[in-house]
Amino acid sequence: MHHDTYIVKEGIPFIVISAAITFLSWLFGFFLLTIFCLLITIFVICFFRNPERKIPPDESAIVAPADGKVIKIVDVVEDGLIRGNYRMISIFMNVFNVHVNRIPCSGRISAIDYREGKFFSADLDKASALNERNHLVIRPTQGEDIMIVQIAGLIARRIVCWVTTGSDVRKGERFGLIRFGSRLDVYLPAAAADIQVQLGQKVRAGETILGVRK
């Protein structure tokens, strides 16, 4: 199924409901409420926007899977879905960012692991371990495995993932979204990728290069 419409289909019910309430408010003469509901409708439309992006052609480039701000870059040792020394890059998405997530490098989805959890603010350290989250492991066409973790936030209550285990994916391809504010953690092999971003930097899904394979 393609997910290239300007508004993702998951947002249509929210837009329709919000627009209907706005119309009814206007119809019955509640003008202040109409203005408020109209602003909410515009916000919802913007939240579920799904713009095109220019994907870097360099095969060695690993792109950001989400729009947002880099809030953490740390070295970690993993012994679960992936194993070894990794550099974890956390990207925080506020409610004004585009929330459609994109694949950082071409390859195959070798594992998906969804875990239920809490809904702490996504910018907290404990969110990585305690919040509702969805792990995706990508086996690149070349190099070591990369992992992406979609993490629900304080307001976000649903993680959406459009790919399945065994799916062949392309760099920059849309693979899911998280509703209403959230975070993505990206795990890049520490010895095999040069990091190209820094703390506090704003990134764009599918365009900003997070790292380059050595």
Return the active site residues. 182
Between CA 45 and CA 168 the distance in angstroms is: 30
Structure tokens at 148: 């992406």
Phi–psi pair at 42, nearest 5 degrees: -65, -40
Say whether 206 sits in a helix, a strand or coil.
Answer: coil
- Relative to beta strand 174-178, strand 159-161 is antiparallel
Greatest C-alpha distance within the chain: 64
Is 51 strand, coil or helix? coil
**What is the end-to-end Cα distance of the chain in Å, rounded?**
34
The CA-atom distances, in angstroms, between 24 and each of 12, 37, 112, 122 are: 18, 10, 43, 35
In sequence order, what are the beta bridge partners of 64? Answer: none
Which residues, 6 or more positions from 199, have their beta carbon under 8 angstroms from its beta carbon? Answer: 70, 71, 72, 73
